[in-house]
Amino acid sequence: MTHPTARPEAPLPFPRHLAVLILLCMGCAFAGNHVAARVAFDDGAGVLLAILMRSGGTLLVLAALVLWQRQTLRLPKGAWRWQLLLGLLIATQSLCLYSAVARVPVALALLVANVFPILLALLTWALGGARPTARTASLMGLILLGLVFVLDVPGRLADSASVGSQWWLGVTLAFCAASVFACALWITDHKLSEVRGSVRSLLTIFIVFSSINLAGVSGVLPGGLNLPATSTGWLALATLVVLYGTGFIVLFISVPRLDMPRNAPVMNIEPLATLLMGWVVLDQMLSAGQVLGGVIVVTGIVLLTYRKSSAASQVKRPAGTRCRESSSR
């Protein structure tokens, strides 16, 4: 059995063009997962059911990998409470994001949820970390400006009657997902950095699966376990399980060779891929102003992530490496 403190030699990284291609494919897979989820929700599937199927399928594959690698599940002293909190935060993030996807255009939900780097930087500062630099603050302002266009704030203020309660709830849930995800990343980087990634991911997914199962059985979210009405919904659920599971597992296996400090910003293709897929599959098209806002948001996030990961590349893995269970998302 591998000793928990053993540190094997780092594998050689992939050529950059191959690493970028893998990350682009993974970003598109995660985007497709959210679009498939919306198709399932429109067919009557419950949010809890989608998360259960997604986390359950990934849990089985992860468990097999950890057993094959003969990893121990022993955690350092005092780490269990943080691991439990991490799992509950990721479960909450998954629930909030899928609930947002069920209410507003998928691309809009993803763009709002992807402001988590701003929240993570502010949280780190508030908890004694480095103060954001002037450049970081400027990029945060750029991202927020982009969100003003994404949310079409001027138009909605001019015609408040067109803004329904479901729109406000969806945007709020997406922002909650970003906030919770930022907290999860902070815990991963500051409280669980000594835990092997495979073990942390397995335990996190197990907690997600267990807590969502408990929520479904308890009836805390009425209709959360509703089944799809037609075969279209079932096909969409199967698609999201395959896309999310494939994306997560490939990313999980390949991370040591992807040079994430240098290439992580490529993953921010997800919101733009979601925009395109949402238009093709769901006929959800944002206005020209919202698309412009989306480009501004993604550009700002890429620059912010690149700056952060470059500074951390000589220390440890970047906090922005998807904590998707770790995101999860």
pLDDT at 158: 61
Query: Would you list the DSSP string of 255-312?
Result: GGGTTHHHHGGGGGHHHHHHHHHHHHHH-----HHHHHHHHHHHHHHHHHHHHHHHHH
pLDDT at 10: 58
Which region among 101-110, 210-219, 264-273, 317-326 has the lowest average model confidence (pLDDT)? Answer: 317-326
pLDDT at 302: 82
pLDDT at 1: 43
Of 119, 94, 321, 328, give the one whose Cα is nearest residue 224: 94
pLDDT at 163: 63
pLDDT at 3: 46
∠ CA(314), CA(319), CA(322), 5° rounding?
A: 125
∠ CA(271), CA(273), CA(277), 5° rounding?
A: 115
Residue found by looking up tokens 């994430």 in the block:
260
pLDDT at 325: 42
Split at pLDDT 50, 70, 90, the class of 156 is: low
Query: Cβ(319)–Cβ(264) under 8 Å?
Result: no
Split at pLDDT 50, 70, 90, the class of 255 is: confident
For the chain, percent of residues with pLDDT exceeding 90 = 41
Average pLDDT over residues 196-202: 87
pLDDT at 173: 96
Query: Cβ(106)–Cβ(278) under 8 Å?
Result: yes
Average pLDDT over residues 91-119: 92
Split at pLDDT 50, 70, 90, the class of 259 is: confident
Split at pLDDT 50, 70, 90, the class of 272 is: confident
pTM, to two decimals? 0.85
Q: Using the predicted structure, report yes or no on whether residue 261 has a pLDDT greater than 90.
A: no
Average model confidence (pLDDT) across the chain: 84
Query: Cβ(325)–Cβ(55) under 8 Å?
Result: yes
pLDDT at 269: 84
> What whole-number distance in Å separates Cα of residue 239 and Cα of residue 285?
22
What single DSSP character describes residue 162? G
How buried is 35 (Cβ within 10 angstroms: 0-12 exposed, 13-18 middle, 19+ buried)? buried
pLDDT at 2: 43
**36-93 pLDDT tens trace:** 999 999 999 999 999 999 999 999 999 998 888 888 888 888 899 999 999 999 999 9
Q: What is each CA distance from 139 to 43, 168, 176, 300, 318, in whole angstroms?
A: 39, 25, 21, 6, 18
Q: What residue ranges do the domains of the chain occupy?
A: 16-312
pLDDT at 161: 55
Q: Using the predicted structure, report yes or no on whether residue 127 has a pLDDT greater than 60.
A: yes
Higher pLDDT, 161 or 258: 258
Query: Would you list the DSSP string of 199-251?
Result: HHHHHHHHHHHHHHHHHHHHTSSTTTTPPPSSHHHHHHHHHHHHHHHHHHHHH
Q: Using the predicted structure, report yes or no on whether residue 309 has a pLDDT greater than 60.
A: no
